[in-house]
Amino acid sequence: MEAWIGAILSGILLGLVYGLAAMGLNLIWGVINVINLSHGAFIALGMFSAYFLFHFAGLNPFIAVALVLIIGLIIGMGAYFVALHRVLDAPELSTLLSTYSLSLIIIGLGTFIFTTNPRAIDIGLGSIGVAGIYIPISKILTGLFSVLFTVILYLFLYKTWTGKAIRAVSMNKSAAEFMGVNSIFILSLSFGIGIALAMIAGCLIAAIFPFTILSGSVYELKSFVICVLGGLGSPLGALIGGLILGLLENVFALKIPVGYIPFIEFMILVIILLVKPTGLITKR
């Protein structure tokens, strides 16, 4: 029984992290209809930002996250103009490849500068335990931060003028422009927010797991699964998709060999795409 409760708890905490990791991909996919293949690279960049802020500025990742948000927003908006703006209306192959080339550049430079050696941030907060179930405090904090960012993003998208503009552009670009929305700014802002979220996720993940410059790709692949599970364009959907995956990996794995979990995840991805191929793209 204890084991089950423990598994559910850790599943939820892991799921929240996954949800946060997928949120940036989800937002960009939903709003500007681009599948951002540089998502994993930006997660890795977030991890390394956290690492350097920790080792050179002494900021622990839960404080550094605010800085990472700003850095991510700036880099993301810049990346939009460099890699995306020109090809936004071209066939989808172009956006896939241009974001992928961004990923190659980031990971390539990252490998060159940081090498692929594993790194870790050890903030040593210890664990808290109730009735024999111990959970590291940093994991709990990360989970709380995920919820916090989901709420902030939700409020931003639904309660602020800019957020409403983002949703308007994603529904109908020309109508939004007609209403006086600067669509180029909004698109770049959306991409920037997506990247910032990816980097925040990386920053928080770095606090709980060791990583290398290549670690982002695992979360990127999981994010695809989460996005099709939870639906596009909504922060809550990403969180729910993440929770499903987290619970699957923890609770399900009590009874089946852990090795089969990735197979199940990717089968879910393919099957959902096949069953609801149009639903996902024509929703807006």
Partner 1 sequence: MKRGFIVWSVLCCFFLSFGFAKGAFAKSKIIIGFTVSQTGKLNAESKEQFNGMELWKDYVNKHGGIYVKNLHKRLPVEFRYYDDESSKDRVQQLYVRLINQDGADFLISPYSSGLTASSAIIAEQYGKVMLATGAASDGIFSKGYTHIFQIYTPASRYLTGALDLLKARDPKAKKVAIIFEQSNFAKAVASAAKNYAEKKGFKVVIFESYGKGTTDFTSFLNKIAEKKPDAIIGGGHFADGETFAKQIFEQRLKVKLVSLLVAPAVPKFAEIGNAALYVTAPSQWEPRAKFTKSTAKRLGLPWFGVSANWFIKKYSKLYGETPGYHAAGGFAAGLVLQKAIEDAGCLKSSKVIRALENMDLMTFYGRIKFDKGDYYGRQVGHEMVYLQWQKKDSKLEKEVIWPRGAESAKLIYPYYKKF
Partner 2 sequence: MKRGYTLIWLIPLILAISLLPVIAHSVIYRETIFLILMYITLAVSLNIILGYTGYVSFGHIVFYGIGGYTSFYLMYRFGVHLILAMIMGGILSAIIALIVGEAVLRLRGAIFAIATIGINEAIKSLVTNLQFLGGATGMFFNFKIYKTYGGAAKAIWFAYWIMVVVTIICLLTSYFIKNSKFGYGLFSIREDEDAAVVLGVNTKRFKSIAFAISAFFPGLVGAIFFFKAGNIEPDDAFHLVKSIEMIFMVMLGGFGTVSGPPIGALLYERLKGILLINPLFKNLHMAITGFILLIIILFAPGGIVGWFRNRFKKLRSLLE
Task: List residues near partner 2 by CB under 8 A.
Answer: 34-35, 82-83, 86-87, 90-98, 100-105, 107-109, 111-112, 115, 221, 224-225, 228, 257, 259-260, 262-263, 266-267, 269-270, 273-274, 277, 280-281
Strand, coil or helix: 1:
coil
Query: Closest Cα partner for 51 from 191, 206, 200?
Result: 206
Contact flag: residue 129 with partner 1 (CB under 8 A): yes
Among 14, 53, 153, 197, binds partner 1 (CB under 8 A): 14
CB of 108 to partner 1, least distance (A): 13
State the helix-helix crossing angle for 235-250 and 137-159, rounded to 10 degrees: 160
State which residue, 78 or 262, has the beta carbon closest to partner 1. Answer: 262
CB of 224 to partner 1, least distance (A): 18
State which residue, 168 or 214, has the beta carbon closest to partner 1. Answer: 214
Q: Rounded to 10 degrees, what is the CA torsion of 76, 81, 84, 86?
A: 170
Among 91, 113, 122, 275, binds partner 1 (CB under 8 A): 122
State which residue, 58 or 259, has the beta carbon closest to partner 2. Answer: 259
Counts for the chain of helices (H) and strands (E), in that order? 12, 2
Among 89, 113, 117, 159, binds partner 1 (CB under 8 A): 117
Question: For residue 128, what are the β-bridge partners?
Answer: 135
Radius of gyration of the chain (CA): 19
Among 101, 127, 160, 182, binds partner 1 (CB under 8 A): 127
State which residue, 81 or 134, has the beta carbon closest to partner 2. Answer: 81
Cα(135)–Cα(146) distance, rounded to whole angstroms?
17
- Interacting positions 202-231 with partner 1 (CB under 8 A): 209-212, 214-215, 218
Handedness of CA 11, 273, 199, 264 (dihedral sign): positive
100 binds, among partner 1, partner 2, none (CB under 5 to 8 A by kind): partner 2
DSSP 80: I
Contacting residues for 221 by C-beta, under 8 A, at least 6 apart:
40, 266
Strand, coil or helix: 128:
strand
Contact flag: residue 249 with partner 1 (CB under 8 A): yes
How do strand 133-136 and strand 127-130 relate by DSSP bridges?
Answer: antiparallel
211 binds, among partner 2, partner 1, none (CB under 5 to 8 A by kind): partner 1
Contact flag: residue 136 with partner 1 (CB under 8 A): yes
